[in-house]
Structure formats: structure tokens, C-alpha cells
Structure 1
Amino acid sequence: MNTTTLCPLGAESAKASVRFFLGVDGGGTGTRVRLSDLSGRILGQGEAGPSALGQGAEQAWAHIVLAARQAQALAGVEALDWSHCAIGLGLSGASVPAQVEAFLALQPGFALLALDGDGFTTVLGAHGGRPGAVVAAGTGTVGEVLRRDGSRACISGWGWICGDEGSGAWLGLKAMRHAHQAQDGRVPVGPLARAVFAVVGAEREPILAWCAQAGQHAYASLARLVFDHAEGDNIDPVAVGFVQEAVAELERLALALDPAAELPLALCGSIALRLAPNFSGTMAGRCVSPQGDSADGALHLIRSVLQRLGN
């Protein structure tokens, strides 16, 4: 998506009133908010629960505000007034117009707001606002690229139910499907299936009950079982195969983002970093260490918007 910018006070009033920047990284698992002054000095950071827009606008704002208040407390800033704050947000689900509309309708009075997807703010943070590509795989998966001509693209990020290949939720779903087959007797009961049974139950009814209430985060929590049994003493070839599939999916994603392999590539997210040692030599050679994270990118986003208002 293109950045959504909201200036409820009007551009000139917003520019004059801003004293602090807030950078928000919000996904399906948690929210991080970083507070900085106008010079860019980081004052504090707070954390709270998920703020993915697909989980509801009210929840998103509740967790963003909670994390912002934590950052304020750590910074020792008293009575932080939202009307003196410019907030940049990189949120999962920001590509769905209806979700964005519902979210903006509840904004609690920030002087200036800039919203984009968390994948794009990850690109901005990883490459300091300069061209580059990012493969981000954690609870979900998304690939983003900012090209040298200023154009951008987003690949994957279709959601955990029917996409997000190579993510934690994707690995968890594969583990659960394998456990279903093992419980049925369609495949042997191996270490990975037994590990899933230890979490959700080994009989049909508790398994069905767990699946009926499980969401993205719950399935992503099963990814650790795949990694636990892809190496070490209790190895399971099924888990090894799932890890290899995840690596292949992320490599395909990176190639689609930058077919000419001319841009720096950063890997972000717990799953991508866990899989990185298994990447091919060619792909590993393209990777650079991120300069910053999605919250840094959200700060870059809102600073650039304020700067444009001044031109």
C-alpha cells in the first residue's frame, strides 16, 4: 500500500505542534513502540500485545497506547499529550482498506499519523531508508522491496490461513497436519507428532478442540517443535523436511523481490533468522545485517512525512 497520512489538526498546525515522534511496529504477536525527540534521539521503548489490524482496531489502539505509555514512563516524560506527537505505524493488515478505515476512525488525537505495512517499515529500518529488500518471517511472512527508482513491491503476506509460506504459523500448520495424519494412522507416529500430541492432546476430541480455537499465534507457537526435531538427538526426518521447505520458500521469495540480485537483502524475524544458516551460498552472500528494525523504519516514515510538510 501507499502510506496513509492523517493530519487532523491540518498540515501547518501539525508541523508546529509536534514535539515527539513515536515509531510503532505492530504484528500478530506483539507491539513495540519507540519514542524519540525531534533530533532523533531515542528516549524510551514500550511493548504490549498484538496490534495486527486483522485482530480488530480497538485492540490495536489499546496495545499501541499501552506500549506508548510504557515508552513515556521509561523516558521520564510526564503527561505526554498525543496532540504534540507524530506517530508512524508499521502494522500488519495495513493493506486492507476496510481495516485501515476502522483503525483511523479511532485514532486518539495524534497531531500527525503515517501508516504503512510492517513489511515496508521493516525495509526502511533495515536499510536506513535507502533501496533494499527484506524477507521478514516470524509469525507471518512478507517480502518487501524499495527499488532504486523509488518504486516498491510487496510479495507474500497473504495471511496465515492460505499463505505466509516459510513463517512460524505455516510451520505450525504443517506440524499439526502431520499430527492429524499420525493420529489417523496414515503416517507413522514419530518424534514430531508426539511433540504436538504433548501440547494439544493425543486423542481426536482434544485435537479438534485445540484446532477450533487456535489462531495464528497458537499455530506459530508449534514452530519451535519443528525446529526442536530438525536437529539434535531426537531428530525427525519429517521436521527436517519442513525446515528445508521453509528455506526454499524464503529463497524463492527473495528471488522474486529482486530477480537481478542487485539490492542488499536483509533477513528479519525470528523464523528467517533461525533459517538463515541453511540458506544456499548464493543467497547467503546477498544478505546484509539490518541497520534497524520496523520500529526504526516507522520513525523514519513519520520523520519523512513531517519533512515533506515543511517543503
Structure 2
Amino acid sequence: MSTVDRPRRGVAGLDIGGSYLRVRVEDAVTGEPLVTETRSNTGWNDLSPVERARLVHGALRRVTPGGYILAAVGVGARGCDSEALTRELEAAVAAEFGPGVAVRVCNDALLVGLAGGWEHALSVIAGTGAVVGGLTADGVTVLTDGWGWLLGDHGSAPRIVVDALRLYTAGLDREESDPVFGRFVAGALGVTEDRRLPGAVRRARETLGDLAPGVFECAEAGSPCARQAITDNAWRLAGNVVTALRLGVRADAVVGAGAIMVKQPSFRAAFASGLVAQEVTLPLSVLDTEPVFGAVRLAKLALRNAASCNDEEQLT
């Protein structure tokens, strides 16, 4: 085969959540973007590791341009919540692609730090959910929180709303008024009698996170309940960073993402204050690109590691 006819090499990154799949393919040499695509992926949570690997392989086979072969694949996936689960999916994906393709898999949260340009970072997500993640020096995944708003998810949209409501009802018991938040509750949940609030919350439980922007508006308007809920959540999230570091995460920076972190400056400021108060001196930045870029970076790291291993084998 002539040099002209030889397939060029590409690297692919996938960011896979419970309901979406984002894929990006780049030229392995030039970094030229070849494909960027987002599609629905609603069945991911119910698939076995082998089925997930087949889905990844099929998605990339469909979008990789003609004239290219994949040299490396990076996958950040929902459900890789422990080292065992991560390695299980990585082995399944590697088996699907075969020995000629370098493969690395991580929890989707870890893509944040990679997309922010750091190989070793603490990824902090505060959006629909909230979690802090990173890797130890030995490459072991560490996650703190991410338990859902009923059990945790401090810093997430629904948790901030629920905590503000709890503070509001506690104030009612003490006959302390918060008229700003009271008007918000009446308008957002259609409640004019406070004792009907529990039923309204139950009916709205699947969409409580949608009310978070209103809580931030209440805080700006002077609501003590809203302000306290925001500050408490930001500091608890900062505490989860401290916990991750204590558990051995290797990090040169803290990189934040998610709608609450990105779109709410008051939360960001409170989170930064919480880090300082708890003696975290790492630089803090907010991701300004898509996490799928972190998956591409993961693929490039896998390719670099494979090349290094090949060089060592030749020397021995």
C-alpha cells in the first residue's frame, strides 16, 4: 500500500451520560476535528458492560470518516463509580476494538479536569447533580458525594431548592418571616397556604431543580433562606473537595462545571470562600468548553502511554 493510500489515524472521545452520548473524533497527528455529534442514549443505565462496549464501538464505527482508522479511544461514562466498574468497562471496550486501539475509560465526572487542560485535577460538578472526582497517584478513582439530592448532592440545583425550603419551613415554625421567599414559593409551587407545601413539593419532586434560578433571584433580593441554602451547599461541596484530597487524590487544580457552578457567580464565590476557609490552595477555574474534549484528551493520553510501553518493550 502506498503512503497516499494508507489510512490516517484518528483519536475519539466519548462523554456518555444516562441520557446522552457526545462523541468527538480528531486527526491523531494534526488535531483537526473530524466529527462532533450528540445524540440520545436513554438506555445506557440498563446495559451490561459488554452491551455498553458494543454501543461505543457501533457509535464510533458509524461516525469515523472514511480513510481513517482509530488509534485510541477515550470514554468518560456514567456508572463508572468505582475502580472495579471502571476497569470492567475498559476491558470490555478494549476487547471490542482489539489490540490495535489504545483505550482508557473513566467516570464521566473526571472529564471536567481533563477538558480544563489538566492531567491531574479535581473535577467538581454542580448542576443537576453534584460530585467531586479525581484519581490517586496510583490511578484509582475517588468520588465524593454524587448520591442524589435525597441523600446528598450538595451543590446541585434540586438540593439547593430543597434546603431553602427546609430553612423556610423551619423559620415558619419559629414565626420568623421571609417574605421574599414566601412570594417565590407561592408563585413557583402554587401554594398560598403554607401547610399545603409538602404536597406541592411531592408533586414537583422530579422538576425541583428547575426552581434553582428562582432561589438565586431570592438571594439577590435579600431572602435569608435562599442565601443560607446557597452558602451551605457551596461550603459542603468545598468540604467534599477536602475529603477527596484526604483520600489521596492527586491534583494540581480544581476545575468546576455544571449549570450552578458556571451560571451562578454567587455560588462560585461561596465555593471559592469555602475552599480557602478549609485551606485548599489549589487554583480554581471553571470549565469553558465541553467535557467531551476531556475524553479526547484521555484518548491521547492512552495513545501516549501505549507508545511509551512499545518503546520500553523494544529496549528490552
The alignment's TM-score, normalised by the length of structure 1, stands at 0.67
CA distance in 2, matches of 1:102, 1:134: 21
Structure 2 residue 29 is the aligned partner of structure 1 residue 45: no
Equivalent residue runs for 1:25-174 within 5 Å: 25-27=15-17, 31-39=21-29, 40-49=31-40, 53-54=44-45, 56-57=46-47, 84=70, 87-95=73-81, 114-129=104-119, 131-148=120-137, 150=139, 152-174=141-163
Partner of 2:291: 294
Deviation, 1:237, is 1.0
Partner of 1:9: none
Q: 1:245 to 1:51 in 2, by over 3 A?
A: farther
Residue in structure 2 matching 1:209, options 164, 188, 203: 203
Partner of 2:233: 246
Deviation, 1:238, is 0.5
Which amino acid in structure 2 is aligned with residue 241 of structure 1?
Q
Which amino acid in structure 2 is aligned with residue 32 of structure 1?
R
Which amino acid in structure 2 is aligned with residue 93 of structure 1?
G
Q: 1:183 to 1:194 in 2, by over 3 A?
A: farther
Equivalent residue runs for 1:192-203 within 5 Å: 192-202=181-191
Partner of 2:314: none
C-alpha distance after superposition, 1:259-278 (max 9, x if no partner): 59983222222323432222
Contact kept? 1:264, 1:287, Cα under 8 Å: yes
- Please tell me the root mean square deviation across aligned C-alpha atoms, in Å: 4.8
Q: 1:177 to 1:30 in 2, by over 3 A?
A: farther
Q: Percent identity?
A: 23
Which amino acid in structure 2 is aligned with residue 248 of structure 1?
W
Q: Which has the larger radius of gyration?
A: 2
CA distance in 1, matches of 2:208, 2:134: 27
Partner of 1:277: 269
CA distance in 2, matches of 1:99, 1:132: 18
CA distance in 1, matches of 2:43, 2:283: 27
Contact kept? 2:109, 2:125, Cα under 8 Å: yes
Gaps of 5+ in 1: 1-15
CA distance in 2, matches of 1:145, 1:135: 9
Deviation, 1:221, is 1.8
The alignment's TM-score, normalised by the length of structure 2, stands at 0.66
Which amino acid in structure 1 is aligned with residue 11 of structure 2?
F
CA distance in 2, matches of 1:266, 1:49: 26
Which amino acid in structure 2 is aligned with residue 142 of structure 1?
V
Contact kept? 1:21, 1:36, Cα under 8 Å: yes
